């Protein structure tokens, strides 16, 4: 046993750290005007907020505007997976009454739509891969469980490197094997990580349901998550749709770009996926749907008449004025970096969200979401004097869906990762297949030259 004096408190911010942080703040700040002076696109976005072109991809196409007569004009947003409109893919799944996530995953990885035989073989392989190494759940996931499931997922992925007999082989065949295994087990790592966390930190009962090979990814998530493993057909279909709509969104989003950057160095699959998970964990990327749900809890608690446009608008104005909710001045789930007139994912999702709200007896809450979706764009445009079109994005409804499905907030971002691992895998394969130079953008140094000062003469 360690003596008390030798124990380290990793959360302790000492006076020395406080002083050093002040020094960092004083000496590391870069004047924002310098970005404009030197024509540097901060965040790889131009002055209009459009992403700077850094690569080519065939995986997906994301668009919300067109150039007409030399001017950028907003258009109905579209999303295409391997050139196919997302609406057509979803319609195909619905017409045939089948789950779509596995088929979309094949499409993204292989670059073509599978025929019936190929899809059956692929789905069967995914099912076979749904297993973790012996004692992995006990020794890795349950030991020192994190309060954030995304960290548990990242740690688990990095640890799987040690269980792989050929972890550093970046041949396409081997990387495809690794990616398919990760796609298969992400739901297990996320759900088991959550259950271990609430058992350890909140003292709740721990139960581990192994996945069933005959179930789809969406069905297995609900089966493993719920104590009784029961779910309705509509619940499973809507969760599958959520996975389909979140599976991919171009190479320019932060986590997919991270996958390209890290993969270009020639590193292993587990390190690259760990980096993408770290990116997605950031609240500016993967956590917006949690913010939307929390925001609506505040709205419901403070707006007496949910059907009164004036009262709802008044509270939305308070949010924008930084007088309500988290005081950040943002109506979460409204607005998008690419889409302006419409987010095709949100349009598709909304119809099924309404159906689920009817099944759950939450139509009044759905109508409140609809009302905010209708009112918020004009309020934002009026407040900030902008003429740019503004629309609800997929995060606006996804958190509400997960809430209706009884999925805890701790799993909202991990669910994003469960879907997006398909897109990440496709981007990793694309980067390796078209391997060129390591991705290395330039940074301009703006630190003035200075002279070395001997230690005994420094202040």
Which residues have a catalytic role annotated?
336, 395
**376 backbone dihedrals φ, ψ, rounded to 5°:** -60, -45
Bridge partners of 65? 74
- Return the ∠ at Cα 273 (arms to 269 and 279), rounded to 5°: 150
Question: Are residues 312 and 306 in contact, defined by beta-carbon separation less than 8 angstroms?
Answer: yes
- Return the ∠ at Cα 82 (arms to 76 and 86), rounded to 5°: 40
Question: Are residues 86 and 249 in contact, defined by beta-carbon separation less than 8 angstroms?
Answer: no
Question: Are residues 400 and 293 in contact, defined by beta-carbon separation less than 8 angstroms?
Answer: yes
Cα separation, 249 vs 58, in Å, equals 12
Sheet with 60-68: strands ordered across: 60-68, 71-81, 84-85
Residues in the chain, overall count:
459
Reduced to 3 states (helix: H, G, I; strand: E, B; else coil), residue 110 is helix
DSSP character string of 35-46: HHHTT--GGGB-
- Residues contacting 263, CB < 8 A, separation 6+: 272, 427, 428, 431, 432
What tokens does 412 get?
Answer: 């909202």
- Residues contacting 227, CB < 8 A, separation 6+: 207
- Going by C-alpha positions, the residue among 447, 451, 458 that lies closest to residue 31 is 447
Cα separation, 110 vs 422, in Å, equals 11
**Measured torsion, CA atoms of residues 217, 119, 91, 230, in degrees rounded to the nearest 10:** -30
Bridge partners of 84? 81
Q: Which residue has the tokens 């997302």?
A: 86
- Residues contacting 139, CB < 8 A, separation 6+: none
Question: Are residues 172 and 120 in contact, defined by beta-carbon separation less than 8 angstroms?
Answer: no
Reduced to 3 states (helix: H, G, I; strand: E, B; else coil), residue 408 is coil
Cα separation, 174 vs 192, in Å, equals 27
Local structure of residue 76 (DSSP, 8 states): E
Question: According to the 3-state scheme, what is the secondary structure of 357-372?
Answer: HHHHCCHHHHHHHHHH
What tokens does 75 get?
Answer: 């258009």
């Amino acid at each position: 046993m360690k003596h008390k004096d030798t124990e380290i408190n990793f959360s302790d911010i000492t006076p020395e750290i406080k002083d050093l942080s002040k020094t960092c703040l004083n000496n590391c700040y870069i004047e924002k005007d310098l970005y404009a002076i030197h024509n540097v696109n901060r965040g790889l976005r131009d002055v209009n907020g459009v992403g700077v072109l850094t690569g080519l991809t065939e995986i997906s196409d994301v668009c919300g505007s067109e150039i007409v007569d030399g001017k950028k004009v907003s258009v109905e947003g579209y999303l295409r997976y391997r050139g196919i409109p997302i609406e057509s893919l979803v319609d195909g799944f619905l017409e045939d009454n089948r789950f779509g996530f596995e088929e979309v995953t094949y499409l993204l990885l292989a670059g073509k739509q599978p025929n019936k035989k190929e899809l059956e073989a692929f789905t069967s392989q995914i099912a076979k891969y749904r297993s973790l190494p012996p004692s992995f759940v006990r020794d890795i996931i349950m030991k020192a469980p994190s309060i954030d499931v995304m960290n548990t997922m990242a740690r688990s992925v990095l640890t799987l490197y040690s269980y792989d007999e050929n972890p550093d082989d970046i041949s396409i065949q081997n990387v495809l094997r690794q990616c398919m295994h990760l796609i298969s087990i992400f739901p297990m790592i996320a759900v088991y990580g959550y259950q271990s966390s609430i058992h350890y930190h909140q003292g709740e009962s721990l139960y581990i349901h192994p996945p069933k090979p005959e179930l789809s990814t969406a069905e297995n998530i609900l089966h493993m998550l719920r104590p009784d493993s029961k779910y309705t057909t509509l619940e499973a279909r809507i969760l599958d749709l959520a996975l389909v709509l979140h599976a991919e969104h171009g190479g320019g989003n932060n986590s997919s770009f991270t996958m390209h950057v890290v993969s270009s160095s020639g590193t292993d699959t587990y390190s690259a996926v760990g980096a993408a998970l770290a990116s997605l964990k950031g609240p500016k990327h993967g956590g917006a749907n949690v913010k939307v749900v929390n925001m609506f809890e505040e709205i419901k608690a403070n707006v007496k008449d949910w059907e009164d446009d004036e009262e709802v608008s008044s509270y939305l104005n308070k949010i924008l004025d930084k007088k309500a909710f988290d005081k950040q001045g943002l109506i979460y789930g409204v607005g998008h970096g690419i889409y302006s007139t419409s987010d095709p994912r949100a349009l598709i999702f909304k119809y099924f969200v309404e159906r689920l709200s009817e099944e759950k007896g939450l139509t009044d809450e759905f109508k409140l979401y609809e009302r905010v979706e209708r009112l918020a764009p004009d309020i934002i445009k009026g407040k900030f004097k902008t003429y740019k079109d503004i629309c609800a994005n997929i995060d606006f409804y996804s958190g509400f869906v997960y809430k209706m499905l009884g999925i805890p907030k701790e799993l909202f971002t991990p669910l994003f990762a469960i879907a997006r691992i398909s897109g990440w895998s496709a981007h990793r394969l694309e980067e390796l297949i078209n391997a060129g130079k390591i991705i290395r953008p330039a940074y301009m140094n703006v630190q003035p030259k200075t002279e070395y000062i001997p230690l005994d003469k420094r202040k």
